[in-house]
Structures are given as structure tokens and as C-alpha cells.
Amino acid sequence: MDKRPRILTGDTPTGRLHLGHWVGSLENRIRLQNDYDCFFLIANMHAFTTRADEPAAIRRDTLEIVKDWLAAGIDPERSTLVLQTEIPAIAELSWYFAMLLPFNRVMRNPTLKTEIELKDLGDHYSFGFPLYAVGQCADILVFRPELVPVGEDQVAHIEMCREVGRRFNWTYAGVDPQAKDEDHIARGGIFPIPRALVGRVGRLTGTDGKNKMSKSLGNAIFLTDTNKEIKKKMGALYTGRKTMTEPGDVNNALFQYVRAFIKDPARVAELETKYAAGDNIGDGHIKVEVAAAMEELLEPMRQRRAALEGEAGDRRVLEILHAHTAKANAVAEETLYAAKQAMKLDFGRRSIVFP
């Protein structure tokens, strides 16, 4: 048994990953692989909550996201990749959690509300759509992690997960609801109360200069973009500044990129001072420098990804998922049985065979 503290986090396969994912969470995951026992979940069941009629696209996006992860530096020798639809304990636990969360509590979840607006779901979203937020609590708690590295937009979900963990421990394991979060296990709780870990840039602005970077808004720089595409997207970034001697706003999107991607802190400080003073420095010049920094970050990823292209790459991904499913299920089944024992549902252990 791995004694390192655990991490669980994941992504819904909706398309390619971009720089917002990188600074929001992916970078943290890569870094934490040494010191934590990491579980990275592909939320392919959640993909169906808004795209139930697109199974082929979801399958393609599932393989693509794993390729993006591996290219970014997720190491399948050290970390466990979890394919959500192959872990039945997640679906089961979701049911039990759904009964510990008041309906109106779920519907008030601000992340769900924002998503309904952004994706223009109106009042015609599926029953399963809000249910995914409950499912996400199960994704997390079934692996009993200490930390959940996520982008800022996910913090409301993690808060709901913490609530349901506390309520389960209180209802079925008698843990005092006033107990400190870090004491839940010592007091006999089934689930630890995990903490969210938000990346160094919680919300990266897109190349439209205003909205959060996102695939659906067409303002994203993808991890797979070529140098040419990056230069073009950066070139089109609008700051509203007109001349090289006009004092610039160092809180604009361009400078968010300067701070997020240019590695040398002295250079960042110098650019900020000059820009704020309008000291003969053009936006075009800074964009070129930012694009170069992004390229430096992405080049090794492109190389690793090239090795995963095509059908051979698909086979490699499927092999990894298959091998990792056994380990993920072993952990998840153990937690589920402990939860069922606490609920007086211990009618016998089972084992999942995945030959």
C-alpha cells in the first residue's frame, strides 16, 4: 500500500486542454506527482450530462484528454488514471450522497448556475446535469484524498463535497458535526474532509482580453497549438492601448500572461515598470516575448504528444486505462464497502474482475 497522502482530481472530456487548465490545475498535478499518491479522473460519465447524443465524440475526447495529460507530464508509472465509467463504486456512492444533500442545496450551487448560463442550458437541461455535482462528490470521496487540485471555478463543487463528507460521517459514523475537518478520520469517520488546492492563476483570461479562457468561447490557446497559431492568437489580443508611450495597465490580460508565462521575475518586473510608465514599449513587442515563453513551455509537450498520435497512440492510451482500472477499483471498492458497513448495508463483499 502506498503510504503517501492522496490526491484526486479530474477533467470532463470536452475537447483539448488549454493554458487556462495548465495554470489553474494541471501544473500543480504534475508537480505533486512525486509526493502524493495521485488519482486523475476522466469524467466521461459527466460528458453525457450535456451531450448524451454524442457517444462517438465523447469517446474521442476521452482518448484525447488522456493524450493531453500524458503530453503535459502526467506519468502513468507514478500516478493512477481513473476512467469514471469503469468504477461502479462512484455511481453507487453518488446515490447515497444524493440523499444527504437537500435538492435546493444542489440547485443553488454557483458553479452549476454559471454553467447553465454559459452553456445556455436554459431550463431544458437533463436531470443528470445537476446530478453531476453530486457525482463529483463521489468521484472525490471514494478515493479518500487529502487534496483536490482544481481551477477556481470548481471550488463550489469541492465545498459541496466537504459538506457531504461531514454529513455522512455524522449520520452514519457518529462523528460530531462540530469536529474539526482534519479530525474526522481519527474520530471514526469514513471520509476525510479534503481541501481544494487552486493553481497559481485561478482564472486565466482568454485571448479576447475579457472572458475566462475556454474552448467554447473561442478564446483559448491549446496545449497542442503550433507556434504559428500561438503567434496569431497573441497578435489578435486586444488591450486598447494605442502608442508605445501611453502608460499601460499592468492588470490587463497581456500582463496576466507576462506574469503567468515569463519565467524570469526580473524581466517581468522590468516589463511591468516600463509598461506602466509608457516607457517606449509596444504591446506587439511584449506579445512576441509572451508567445516565445508559451512556446518554450509547450514544445516538450508537443514532442511527447507526437509519440501518441494515431491508432498506435489510441492503443497505448487504452492499455494504460485498462491497467489502471484494476488499481482504481481496488481502492474505490474498499471505500464503498466501508461506507456500506457504516450504513448497515454490509451484506457481503464483492470483487470486480476486469480481465
Considering the complex, state which of residue 153 and residue 283 has its C-beta at the smaller distance from ligand TRP.
153
In the bound complex, what is the minimum distance in angstroms from residue 253's beta carbon to ligand TRP? Answer: 22
In the bound complex, what is the minimum distance in angstroms from residue 158's beta carbon to ligand TRP? Answer: 7
Question: Cell for 106?
Answer: 444542489
In the bound complex, what is the minimum distance in angstroms from residue 166's beta carbon to ligand TRP? Answer: 17
In the bound complex, what is the minimum distance in angstroms from residue 247's beta carbon to ligand TRP? Answer: 38
Collapsing DSSP to helix, strand or coil, 115 comes out as: helix
Considering the complex, state which of residue 142 and residue 342 has its C-beta at the smaller distance from ligand TRP.
142
Question: Cell for 79?
Answer: 500516478
DSSP state of 211: S
How far, in Å, CA of 230 to CA of 51, rounded?
Answer: 29
Considering the complex, state which of residue 189 and residue 194 has its C-beta at the smaller distance from ligand TRP.
194
Considering the complex, state which of residue 8 and residue 234 has its C-beta at the smaller distance from ligand TRP.
8
In the bound complex, what is the minimum distance in angstroms from residue 145's beta carbon to ligand TRP? Answer: 9
C-alpha dihedral, 115 to 119 to 123 to 129, nearest 10°: -60
Considering the complex, state which of residue 158 and residue 301 has its C-beta at the smaller distance from ligand TRP.
158
In the bound complex, what is the minimum distance in angstroms from residue 306's beta carbon to ligand TRP? Answer: 26
How far, in Å, CA of 30 to CA of 32, rounded?
Answer: 6
Considering the complex, state which of residue 118 and residue 292 has its C-beta at the smaller distance from ligand TRP.
118
Residue nearest to ligand TRP (CB): 43
Residues near ligand TRP, by CB under 6 A:
8-12, 41, 43, 46, 136, 139-140, 148, 150, 154
Alpha-helical (H) ranges within the chain are 19-21, 27-32, 44-51, 55-72, 88-98, 103-107, 110-118, 128-141, 155-173, 227-235, 253-261, 265-277, 283-306, 310-342
* CB 36 within 8 Å of CB 325: no
Considering the complex, state which of residue 105 and residue 231 has its C-beta at the smaller distance from ligand TRP.
105
In order, the DSSP letters of 156-206 are HHHHHHHHHHHHHHHHHH---TTS-GGGTTTTT-SS---EEEE-SSSS-B-
In the bound complex, what is the minimum distance in angstroms from residue 104's beta carbon to ligand TRP? Answer: 21
In order, the DSSP letters of 227-240 are HHHHHHHHHT----
Collapsing DSSP to helix, strand or coil, 299 comes out as: helix
In the bound complex, what is the minimum distance in angstroms from residue 154's beta carbon to ligand TRP? Answer: 6
Considering the complex, state which of residue 157 and residue 259 has its C-beta at the smaller distance from ligand TRP.
157
